[in-house]
Amino acid sequence: MALGIFDRYVLWRVVGVMLATIVMGILLLCMARMLVFMQSGAQFAQEFAQLATLTALFIPHYLGFMLPFALFWGSYVVVRRLSLNSELQPLFASGMSFTRFNKPLLFLGVIVSLINLGMLGWFEPLARYSYREIRFHLESIPPYFAVREGVFMNVGRQTILVESIDADTRTFSKVFLFEQGEDGGSTQITAERGEAVTRGKYITLVLRDGIRSVFEPGAAPYSGRQDSPDLYKFELLALPLTSQTIEFRDIGEDEQELSLVDLYQRASSPPPGTLESEMASELNRKLVIILSSLFLPLLATLCAQANTRGRNVVQGVFSIGFMILYQQLIQFGGLLTDKSGLSPLVTMWPLFGLMVVGTLLLVYLQDRRAGRPSERVAATWFNFRQEFRAWYSPKPRRRAPKRVSQRRPISR
């Protein structure tokens, strides 16, 4: 499809508004997600790198509903600005139809739908699985990394005291470790410094420049005799914290981790613990969101031309509220299918069909009649009632016109 100068001009302006909307929306949502992580009190929330990594994995999910919203808002803002600057009237007066005017916006809607197809169909499930895998490994780290400076901490039979901790490099200084043996003996370790070394999924505590004291089981505790410990001075001592690697489950054991193709192919045979209604809800919800981007530019253009007499803040707020309400109703329909087992043909697709039919009807009226969309709808409804009433109402009889005698003027 060849794009002219006007088409490229409209696309450039709409894409600019879309990018600004997406960036601001993603930043706000990511900041809110970081606050949720920090308020949860999880150990990984104390390190910015891990916190940023987990937050970044939510971006494909946020883009899934930010792309249609940005497309709608970008189209509305640009067309509204063109309308207020009296740039649309010369275009329509020159013979350009409403459908031809929306040609670049429809092209952009197809591009956004394809991007959202890849985002919701493949990237979001993969990112969701990666988030769960990383969080699983972070929460499976031994509790040694939860030690606080200058506070005794009991881990099983061990007691740990660390004077200072560098969380970024995972290094310690002035380490004291005491372990009570099952046979009655005990081990006491003091070290000048230490560090936690991660090799793959194995974690080892490395202590340097310290003394290890081993107390063997001796006489009865009330004998009054103190057993002398065995002292070992070391320069390096490695203590494994994980004896075996920790494996996470395979991808695909949850419907949110399946691609669109997998959701369709496994609709009748869902993973263990997943219901068929959950599979249908996830599949149809994503399809509705993807297909909505094809018609949202038309709807945004119609909303932008509803009142061309002046600036109206309420009109912009109503347009944003309509878009948010539409997305929330889709999410509610998916939740209703998920929990109650109702068919998506009842909970989600009627809303999508109503939006599509209403948009196409208004576009048809825009090309056929002049005036604002509200006036066109009212005029169409009035004409329909008049024609329907004339169909069943009896037609009035026509009376013969009276003949008026024409008198000739009297000539004088």
Taking only the tens place, the pLDDT of each residue in 322-359 is: 999 999 999 999 999 999 989 999 999 999 999 999 99
Specify the pLDDT at position 158: 75
Whether 199 shows a pLDDT value over 50: the answer reads yes
Whether 374 shows a pLDDT value over 70: the answer reads no
CA distance 410 to 109: 81
What percent of the chain is modeled with pLDDT above 70? 77
Specify the pLDDT at position 140: 67
Two tokens, residue 285: 């919800």
Per-residue three-class SS string for the chain: CCCCHHHHHHHHHHHHHHHHHHHHHHHHHHHHHHHHHHHHCCHHHHCHHHHHHHHHCCHHHHHHHHHHHHHHHHHHHHHHHHHHCCCHHHHHHCCCCHHHHCHHHHHHHHHHHHHHHHHHHHHHHHHHHHHHHHHHHHHCCCHHHHCCECCCEEECCEEEEEEEEECCCCEEEEEEEEEECCCCCEEEEEEEEEEEEEECCEEEEEEEEEEEEEECCCCCCCCCCCCCCEEEEEEEEEEECCCCCCCCCCCCCCHHHCCHHHHHHCCCCCCCCCCHHHHHHHHHHHHHHHHHCCCHHHHHHHHHCCCCCCCCHHHHHHHHHHHHHHHHHHHHHHHHHHHHCCCHHHHCHHHHHHHHHHHHHHHHHHHHCCCCHHHHHHHHHHHHHHHHHHHHCCCCCCCCCCCCCCCCCCCC
Specify the pLDDT at position 412: 53
Q: Lowest mean pLDDT: which of 15-19, 88-92, 110-114, 320-324?
A: 88-92
CA distance 345 to 409: 81
- Confidence tier at 201 by pLDDT (50, 70, 90): low
Burial of 9 (0-12, 13-18, 19+ CB in 10 A): middle
Is the distance from CB of 365 to CB of 380 less than 8 angstroms?
yes
Mode of pairing for the β-strands spanning 186-199 and 202-215: antiparallel
Q: Enumerate the β-bridge partners of residue 230.
A: 214
| Predicted confidence (pLDDT) per residue in 207-264, tens digit | 888 888 888 775 444 444 445 567 778 888 887 765 455 678 888 888 999 999 999 9
Query: Which of the residue ranges 175-184, 290-299, 379-388 has the most confident prediction, judged by mean pLDDT?
Result: 290-299
Sequence-separated (6 or more) residues with CB below 8 Å from residue 169? 195
Mean pLDDT across the stretch 308-327? Answer: 80
Specify the pLDDT at position 28: 95
Two tokens, residue 124: 């979001």
Residues in the chain: 412
Residue 229 CA, chain-centre distance (Å), reads 60
What does pLDDT average to over the chain? 81
| Predicted confidence (pLDDT) per residue in 94-105, tens digit | 778 888 889 999
Q: Lowest mean pLDDT: which of 62-76, 173-187, 312-326?
A: 173-187
Mean pLDDT across the stretch 149-174? Answer: 76
Whether 205 shows a pLDDT value over 50: the answer reads yes
Q: Lowest mean pLDDT: which of 4-8, 57-61, 138-142, 380-384?
A: 380-384
Specify the pLDDT at position 39: 82
